[in-house]
């Protein structure tokens, strides 16, 4: 790497000192009636040019101090660069404004140019600094790109184009997967239960970003009206994003009464045994990777936390058959026992579907009926509930074909899930395990709906994937650690010669 010669700092920052002195003079002459808010605005406005000038003069000083390496340098390709070019300049857009970096360049025929100082500074490949990229990652993940532009302008006084902002956010998420592959997992105790969960939610995409089947349906669909959808019509414009979660819980035994009491307005919180609290939550999300890939990542994370499979593993799902098959496949491949539980809220929705087949719309008796059947299911009698619904509908002559279809769907659902062992709520409650998918449903709402469903938003794959990953980093509380890792990876990618080997003279 190029060395630096001794150089007198005196005079190197004269321009910055002059600007600083002018600020002092302005403050000294300011009217004593000026408010503190006005002072804040004044100093904010004056400080940006000062910081930009300080940064520029520091870079200029480093340029003066850099001296040639005798014999040149060898790049990562093993080619020796001996041709020296002095005063090679490039622009850098920073949080303080645009500056110019001047440094030495080493060249050789048919070989890329090497700038050792670029590696020392860890300069980005693009014009925008890592400071601006970090702001782009933070703000673009928080709200719309327009809001992010405004936030960056307020914070720095710099204007970043919308397309540039999208590109910077995408580049900021480059190391998401490798970061989680290499990071240390949180330590859990042997008594903690390891909970795995996954779900999906659609994102409105540009037509070219839709999966082939959806794009084909969109092309073939014929709408009756030009300005709105008719009954039964779909826009066919969404692509499913998959969300996965892993977290720890300390078991907390409960009863069926505790679960049902949560739906009662007459029961106080003090009378209910609290549900197990999720700790060390980890989220991942992807719109490019399919459900199988996300579940693989979920099992990878669970394996990192419990590599020898000493803890109890629970998979909480909504009952999707494809998802269930993938969980069983992953568990069998990894030779780990995973107890699968169906989300009790999802089961309740099926009970309500059957209730409106047996009761008039709005009948309070329907609520009583659902509560009674829910208690029976929580007590382990899901097959009996299915038989009850089947028998009752069989004796009714006043049901419509739709009502019979909905009741039959509930019977089939309860029967199959109970026979597979996915509704073993007595064991789950006794052992203190969770039986609801609130964590993953909240993750879908936070990671996807709160950002990706902004009115009018239509996404392309790279942008949607990057925003999902950045929001997952924020939700996991890992963004600062990730950014440190990301900058290290950036240096290895962009400057493999920042420790270039000097050649003997």
Q: pLDDT exceeding 70 applies to what percent of the chain?
A: 89
Is the per-residue pLDDT at 139 higher than 90? yes
Least confident range from 23-32, 162-171, 260-269: namely 260-269
Shared domain check, 210 and 100: no
Distance from C-alpha of 234 to C-alpha of 230, rounded to nearest angstrom:
9
Collapsed DSSP state (helix, strand, coil) of residue 93: strand
Shared domain check, 351 and 215: yes
**pTM (2 d.p.):** 0.86
Shared domain check, 347 and 198: yes
Is the per-residue pLDDT at 227 higher than 70? no
Distance from C-alpha of 391 to C-alpha of 82, rounded to nearest angstrom:
90
Shared domain check, 332 and 209: yes
From 55, 88, 111, the end of a domain falls on 111
Query: Does residue 194 lie in a domain region?
Result: yes
Is the per-residue pLDDT at 501 higher than 50? no
Shared domain check, 286 and 429: yes
Predicted local confidence at residue 455, as pLDDT: 80
Q: Render pLDDT for 177-202 as a digit per residue (tens, 0 to 9).
A: 999 988 877 766 778 999 999 999 99
From 49, 79, 111, the end of a domain falls on 111
Query: Does residue 364 lie in a domain region?
Result: yes
Is the per-residue pLDDT at 26 higher than 80? yes
Tokens representing 243? Answer: 């969300």
Query: Does residue 182 lie in a domain region?
Result: no
Q: What is the DSSP string of 359-401?
A: S-TT-HHHHHHHHHHHHHHHTT-HHHHHHHHHHHHHT-SS--H
Shared domain check, 198 and 56: no
Collapsed DSSP state (helix, strand, coil) of residue 312: strand
Least confident range from 28-37, 119-128, 131-140, 239-248: namely 28-37
Predicted local confidence at residue 228, as pLDDT: 60
The neighbour count for residue 419, using CB atoms within 10 Å, is 12
Q: What is the tally of structural domains in the chain?
A: 2
Q: Please tell me which residue, 186 or 294, carries the higher pLDDT value.
A: 294
Shared domain check, 199 and 55: no
The domain of 34 spans: 14-111
Shared domain check, 243 and 352: yes
Q: Render pLDDT for 373-399 as a digit per residue (tens, 0 to 9).
A: 999 999 999 999 999 999 999 888 889
Tokens representing 468? Answer: 């999902």
* Own/partner pairs, 322-329, CB within 8 angstroms, 24+ separation: 322/291, 323/198, 323/291, 323/295, 324/420, 324/422, 326/291, 326/292, 326/295, 327/196, 327/295
Distance from C-alpha of 267 to C-alpha of 260, rounded to nearest angstrom:
10
Q: Please tell me which residue, 196 or 222, carries the higher pLDDT value.
A: 196
Shared domain check, 248 and 106: no
Shared domain check, 91 and 195: no
Least confident range from 28-42, 344-358, 439-453: namely 28-42
Query: Does residue 178 lie in a domain region?
Result: no
Q: For residue 157, how many C-alpha atoms fall within 13 Å in the half-sphere facing its CB?
A: 14
Q: Render pLDDT for 106-118 as a digit per residue (tens, 0 to 9).
A: 999 999 999 999 9
From 93, 111, 129, the end of a domain falls on 111
Query: Does residue 481 lie in a domain region?
Result: no
Q: Render pLDDT for 69-107 as a digit per residue (tens, 0 to 9).
A: 999 999 888 899 999 999 999 999 999 999 999 999 999
Q: How does the average pLDDT of the chain come out, rounded?
A: 88
Is the per-residue pLDDT at 297 higher than 50? yes
At 304, the pLDDT band (50, 70, 90 cuts) reads: very high
Query: Does residue 150 lie in a domain region?
Result: no
At 231, the pLDDT band (50, 70, 90 cuts) reads: low
Shared domain check, 282 and 414: yes
Shared domain check, 215 and 351: yes
Predicted local confidence at residue 271, as pLDDT: 66
- Phi and psi at residue 97, to the nearest 5°: 130, 180
Identify the top-confidence range among 260-274, 444-458, 466-480.
Answer: 466-480
Distance from C-alpha of 399 to C-alpha of 357, rounded to nearest angstrom:
7
Tokens representing 494? Answer: 């962009």
344-350: average pLDDT: 94
- CB contact at 8 A, 94 and 131: yes
Tokens representing 370? Answer: 């659902």
At 268, the pLDDT band (50, 70, 90 cuts) reads: low
- CB contact at 8 A, 467 and 140: yes
Query: Does residue 390 lie in a domain region?
Result: yes
Query: Does residue 119 lie in a domain region?
Result: no
At 276, the pLDDT band (50, 70, 90 cuts) reads: confident
Least confident range from 129-138, 443-452, 493-502: namely 493-502
Predicted local confidence at residue 505, as pLDDT: 41
């Amino acid at each position: 790497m190029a060395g630096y010669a001794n150089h007198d700092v005196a005079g190197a920052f004269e321009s910055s000192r002059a600007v600083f002195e002018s600020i002092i003079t302005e403050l000294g002459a300011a009217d004593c009636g000026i408010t503190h808010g006005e002072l804040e605005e004044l100093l904010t406005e004056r400080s940006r040019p000062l910081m930009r000038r300080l940064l520029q003069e520091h870079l200029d000083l480093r340029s003066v101090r850099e001296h040639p390496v005798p014999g040149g340098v060898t790049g990562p390709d093993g080619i020796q660069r001996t041709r020296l070019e002095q005063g090679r300049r490039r622009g850098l857009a920073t949080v303080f404004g645009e500056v110019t970096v001047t440094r030495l360049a080493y060249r050789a025929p048919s070989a890329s140019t090497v700038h050792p100082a670029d590696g020392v500074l860890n300069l980005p490949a693009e014009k925008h600094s890592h400071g601006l990229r970090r702001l782009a990652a933070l703000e673009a993940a928080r709200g719309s790109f327009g809001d992010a532009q405004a936030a960056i302008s307020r914070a720095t006084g710099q204007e970043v184009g919308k397309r540039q902002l999208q590109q910077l956010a995408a580049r900021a998420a480059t190391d998401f997967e490798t970061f989680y592959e290499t990071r240390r997992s949180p330590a859990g105790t042997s008594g903690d239960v390891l909970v795995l969960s996954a779900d999906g939610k659609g994102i409105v995409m540009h037509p070219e970003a839709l999966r082939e089947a959806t794009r084909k349906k969109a092309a073939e669909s014929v709408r009756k009206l030009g300005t709105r959808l008719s009954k039964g019509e779909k826009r066919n414009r969404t692509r499913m994003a998959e969300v996965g979660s892993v977290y720890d819980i300390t078991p907390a035994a409960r009863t069926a009464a505790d679960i049902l009491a949560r739906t009662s307005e007459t029961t106080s919180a003090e009378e209910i045994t609290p549900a197990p609290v999720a700790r060390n939550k980890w989220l991942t999300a992807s719109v490019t990777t399919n459900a199988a890939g996300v579940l693989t990542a979920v099992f990878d994370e669970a394996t990192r936390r419990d590599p020898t499979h000493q803890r109890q593993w629970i998979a909480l799902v909504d009952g999707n058959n494809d998802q269930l098959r993938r969980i069983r496949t992953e568990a069998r491949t990894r030779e780990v026992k995973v107890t699968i539980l169906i989300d009790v809220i999802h089961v309740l929705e099926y009970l309500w579907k059957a209730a409106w087949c047996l009761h008039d719309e709005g009948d309070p008796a329907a609520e009583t009926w659902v509560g009674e059947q829910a208690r029976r299911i929580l007590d382990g009698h899901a097959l009996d509930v299915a038989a009850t619904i089947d028998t009752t509908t069989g004796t009714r002559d006043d049901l419509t074909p739709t009502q019979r279809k909905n009741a039959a769907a509930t019977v089939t659902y309860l029967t199959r899930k109970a026979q597979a062992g996915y509704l073993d709520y007595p064991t789950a409650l006794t052992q203190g395990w969770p039986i609801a998918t609130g964590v993953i449903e909240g993750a879908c709402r936070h990671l996807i709906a709160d950002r990706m469903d902004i009115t009018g938003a239509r996404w392309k794959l790279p942008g949607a994937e990057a925003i999902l990953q950045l929001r997952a980093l924020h939700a996991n509380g890992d963004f600062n650690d990730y950014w440190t890792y990301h900058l290290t990876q950036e240096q290895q990618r962009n400057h493999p010669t920042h420790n270039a080997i000097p050649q003997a003279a």
